[in-house]
Chain A
Amino acid sequence: MSVLKELCVLEGHQDRVWNLAWNPSGTLLASCGGDKTIRIWGKEDESWVCKTILTDGHQRTVRTVAWSRCGNYLASASFDATSCIWSRKSGEFDCIATLEGHENEVKSVGWSVSGNFIATCSRDKSVWIWEVTDDEEYECASVLSSHTQDVKNITWHPHEDVLASCSYDDTIKLFREDNDDWTCFSTLESHQSTVWCVCFDRTGSRLVSCSDDQIVKIWQEYLPGNEEGVQTKGNNPAWKCVCTLSGYHDRTIYYVDWSHISGYIVTASADDCIRVFKEEEGCDKNQPSFSLVGCQNKAHSQDVNCAVWNPKDAGLLASCSDDGTIKVWQHSEL
């Protein structure tokens, strides 16, 4: 079993808080929301305080924020159909580029591990891959139209330039560069409703997804020639759902984060709860079991939209909600 202890409540956003992102060193937390602003929080002495408010980037809701792997850049995705790139090289956050092209709301943005690519996805059903040039220019490298509905979220593989996206069309898709062209090499079907979020584990060979169907799923990668005999096509791996966590959540699950340090999975859902899952020891990777080890009831007074593990401090967790607040939690095993 494990427990979450509330360390502090961060107030300041004037509307619902949609998304959070820790910088790679775990010292700064970026948040964004319906008030069209981005806030940067940091620790001063023992308390977390708002260091900066970025107000002039977007005309509408800021849906997602994401740090580059080097920690020098922050990207933001907005309902105003654009994404902004913020640089903190000068010490302050300057908007150095605005990525335009999507027809309507941009739902998510993220940086590849190499730092060479940025991906964005939109209500217009497309995923765009942007190439980052040496002089900080951003060029559209590919427009991927594999999804048939609103694309909710994208996430990059931890070690390779492989992208996962999930959608209102109930599927998850995986993309990679193949002969200078980006293609969808796998479609993961099993969820019965909108897939809101996907996240790789630390190895990149497993994915966790969460959905409006109130279910969390674990997916396993099978490479060509795998000893389990799972069929693959060409030189592409196959992905199979190997575990389904159902019956734990009462409403839509908006966010899932798989800690690359502790291996714990956290979920944020519309039943106001934060739940923590742990893989049981000695599992067969083809049929793993995960158990609920912690549940923080009434973590927030309204829907929890996001919950993210600190990348350096395994016990630190941040969450945000429709109630306009962000909370920082200390997670510990009993």
Chain B
Amino acid sequence: MVSVLDNANPTVYSKVGERIISPEEEEENVVDVIDDREVFDLIRVIGDPEHPLSLEELNVVEDSRVHVDNVKNKVCVEFTPTIPHCSMATLIGLSIRVKLLRSLPSRFKVDVQITPGSHASEEAVNKQLADKERVAAALENTHLLEVVNQCLAPTTRKI
């Protein structure tokens, strides 16, 4: 896809530990609402389009930048491109969006945005990611869908 890497030597961050399962969560009759950590667990394993690393390892996604309002059915994810001119920003945002579209109940309204101040074209990328018509059209593009699916398939990657 690209011959020159945008950011050839990215800083690699340590992963958060596994989710701690509380005794309540093991209870069958306790309602287990979807929370920040659960959504973070869905997206932290997404692969970077350029590096054999996860978005979590590149600090593109962080636990603290995922906000779930289970009552209002809202999920807001901010992601931080590794460099301010990252040409992959839209693709990364699209991968996060697709992962959440496929995994979360349809009642959720999902907003995926760039962490404020972390990208030169922040507004343009945010507008594109928020336009569901353009997202739908992009996902009918078989080549693009293949690239997104590769990012979403961590098992085939050496993470």
Contacts and interface: CB of A to CB of B under 8 A. Distances in A.
Interface of A: 16, 34, 60-61, 63, 79, 104-105, 107, 123, 150, 152, 168, 193-194, 212, 251-252, 270-271, 301-303, 322-323
A270 B109 contact: yes
Contacts of B134: 123, 150
B137 A194 contact: no
Given A61-B137, A61-B140, A193 B107 contact: no
Interface residues of B, number: 12
Contacts of B109: 251, 270-271
Interface of B: 106-107, 109, 127, 130-134, 136-137, 140
Nearest to B132: A303
Contacts, number: 38
A61 B109 CA distance: 22
**Interface residues of chain A: helix, strand, loop or mixed (majority):** loop
Contacts of A105: 137
B136 A34 contact: yes
A323 B106 contact: yes
Contacts of A123: 134, 137
A107 B130 contact: no
A252 B109 CA distance: 11
Contacts of B133: 63, 107, 152
Contacts of A323: 106
Contacts of A303: 132
A61 B130 contact: no
B137 A79 contact: yes
9 contacts: A61-B140, A63-B133, A79-B136, A123-B134, A193-B127, A194-B127, A212-B131, A301-B106, A323-B106
Contacts of B127: 168, 193-194, 212
A212 B131 CA distance: 9
Nearest to A194: B131
A61 B134 CA distance: 12
Contacts of B131: 168, 194, 212
A152 B131 CA distance: 11
A34 B140 CA distance: 10
Contacts of B106: 301-302, 322-323
